[in-house]
């Protein structure tokens, strides 16, 4: 089997990928349970609601993640987020392939932040990505891929649609 991820029309986010894997057949309750069990590794953050629901927009059906969180942290070290993800995958008893995948996801984020800000990887601090939403995305996707048996299959992604425009966030306005 080959899984093809096609983010060419609307781009992609962690929520979108996770929801798509639920729509593909991953066990929704198993994923929600795993995410709830992982919440304890992310201090000062509480998931107040998590669910997936069917939605229909412009005639197209999909699954959407409903996530409500309560957080008191505006910044976290990359190493803190990495530890939370690693502790989560270990606690959930995920396979070595799943653990490696989850760690490579957070390592990619840490590496990107390091390069953008010109700081060593062990000095990286996250702002927007410091949310428990990052753990939900990475751990949830990891559980879903394992549940679907996709770590032993070929996964291909088409180029990501990048669009244009500008966005203002904690580091200023970027285009």
Cα–Cα distance, 102 to 21 (Å, whole number): 16
For 125, the enclosing helix (H) or strand (E) is: strand 125-126
Closest C-alpha among 113, 125, 126, 139 to residue 47: 139
The SS3 of residue 109 is helix
- List, for residues 113-129, the tens digit of each pLDDT value: 899 889 988 888 887 77
Give the pLDDT band of residue 76 (cuts 50, 70, 90): confident
For 60, the enclosing helix (H) or strand (E) is: strand 60-71
Residues, the chain: 175
- List, for residues 134-170, the tens digit of each pLDDT value: 999 999 999 999 999 999 999 999 998 777 778 888 7
* Domains of the chain by residue range: 2-160
Cα–Cα distance, 130 to 42 (Å, whole number): 10
What pLDDT score does 162 carry? 77
């Amino acid at each position: 089997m080959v899984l093809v991820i096609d983010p060419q029309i609307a781009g992609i986010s962690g929520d979108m990928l996770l929801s798509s894997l639920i729509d593909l057949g991953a066990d929704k309750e198993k994923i929600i349970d795993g995410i709830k069990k992982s919440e304890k590794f992310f201090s000062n953050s509480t998931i107040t609601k998590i669910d997936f629901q069917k939605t229909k927009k412009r005639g197209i059906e999909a699954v959407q993640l409903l996530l409500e969180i309560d957080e008191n942290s505006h910044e976290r070290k990359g190493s803190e987020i990495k530890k939370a993800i690693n502790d989560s995958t270990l606690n959930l008893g995920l396979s070595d392939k799943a653990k490696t995948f989850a760690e490579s996801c957070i390592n990619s984020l840490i590496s990107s932040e390091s390069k953008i800000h010109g700081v060593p990887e062990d000095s990286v601090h996250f702002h927007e990505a410091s949310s428990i939403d990052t753990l939900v995305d990475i751990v949830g996707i990891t559980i879903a891929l394992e549940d679907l048996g996709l770590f032993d299959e070929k996964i291909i992604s088409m180029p990501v649609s990048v669009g244009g425009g500008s966005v203002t966030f904690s580091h200023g306005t970027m285009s």
